[in-house]
Structure 1
């Protein structure tokens, strides 16, 4: 699946990532936060159990359930 990746700075130099299908708008529940585009049109396997480089667990299920996938709090990545 081709996706667009956004990231947001967190405490202690860490980042959270938000992934949406390519060219989709950010979901309304996250548009008021400071997400910046990190990558566009990246091909990721939504059937993978996790995307470790983004700290995202069960990306396919998150995309189906919410329309986006997001880093869990305990998986935030260093910048």
Structure 2
């Protein structure tokens, strides 16, 4: 699946990531003015159990259920 990846700064030098299907807007419940586009039209395997580099568990389920996938609070990566 091709997705657009957004990121925002969190406390202690950590980041959250948000993945939405390519070309789709960020869903209303996830709109936040500090999301910055990191990558557009990235091919990702949504059947993976976890996107480790983004700290996103169950990306396929999240994309199907919510229309986006987001970093778990407990897994915010450092950059």
Normalised by the size of structure 1, how large is the TM-score? Answer: 0.96
What residue number does 1:16 align with?
16
Structure 1 stretches lacking a partner, 5+ long: none
Matches within 5 A, 1:52-63: 52-63=52-63
Q: Provide the C-alpha distance between the structure 1 equivalents of 2:62 and 2:43, rounded to a whole number of angstroms.
A: 17
Equivalent-residue separation in structure 2 for 1:19 and 1:34 (angstroms): 15
- Does the alignment pair 1:51 with 2:51? yes
Alignment partners' CA distance in 2, 1:40 and 1:55? 18
Superposed CA RMSD in Å reads 0.7
Residues 30-76 of structure 1 show CA distances to partners (whole Å, capped at 9, x for unaligned) of: 22341010100000000000000000000000000000000000100
- Alignment gaps of 5+ in structure 2: none
Aligned residues: 79
Runs of 4+ in 1 over 4 A off after TM superposition: none
